[in-house]
A = this chain, B = another copy of it.
């Protein structure tokens, strides 16, 4: 979708300089963009276990060491992938719609994108935004939406962080096995929990992770929405 393009003609853009006018370099077989899309494809095909620098190099028909001319570490590649994925997070509704629905769209799409990429979460969570331009653009769109909705400025960042923390934790939850709450042989010694799990299973046909996410998200929406000015 639209998401987070923006960044109007940034002069010192850190990414994507396809060709050099002033000259030194030579032929270009590899660049950060190609590495990023190849990495994303490889992860899609082989998962994060199969995602190695050697495997990545192989899909690009290149020696592993060649990657290090464009990227300084495997973590660097993960940062590129993370930033790329963030552009799939839906922030469109922050420009026009009501705040609650904008947050819902954003939160669900954010969770859905990264529930398939949970190994990136430890990377995102501590990554300076300056190293991830598309992520920064997402924050700008969300901040603008919060401001438009009447949030006091000093509460905007903590509120976004609270939502994000919930989203990241919930992304892990999506990947949990269905029988994660099965107490097995110890069920007898945990009666309250065991019966609560039973009632859950008897409940709706919705996926448990979705029920919990909806419940928590609506609670956060109500509680944090109250911070807005009248």
Q: Which residues of A contact B (CB under 8 A)?
A: 6-8, 10, 12, 118-119, 121-122, 125-130, 133, 136-137, 139-140, 142-144, 146-147, 153-159, 161-170, 172-173, 175-177, 179-186, 189-193, 195-197, 199-200, 202-203, 208-209, 211-213, 215-216, 218-224
Contact = CB atoms under 8 A, between A and B. Distances in A.
A123 to B, nearest CB: 10
Contact of A193 (B140, B166, B181): B140
Contacts of A182: 128-130
Given A121-B122, A140-B191, A219-B223, 8 more contacts: A129-B181, A133-B186, A140-B189, A158-B215, A165-B212, A166-B169, A220-B223, A221-B223
This chain: how many copies in the complex? 2
Q: In this complex, which of A162, A176, A184 has the most chain B Cβ atoms within 10 angstroms of its Cβ?
A: A162
A116 to B, nearest CB: 14
Contacts of A163: 216
B224 A215 contact: yes
B161 A168 contact: no
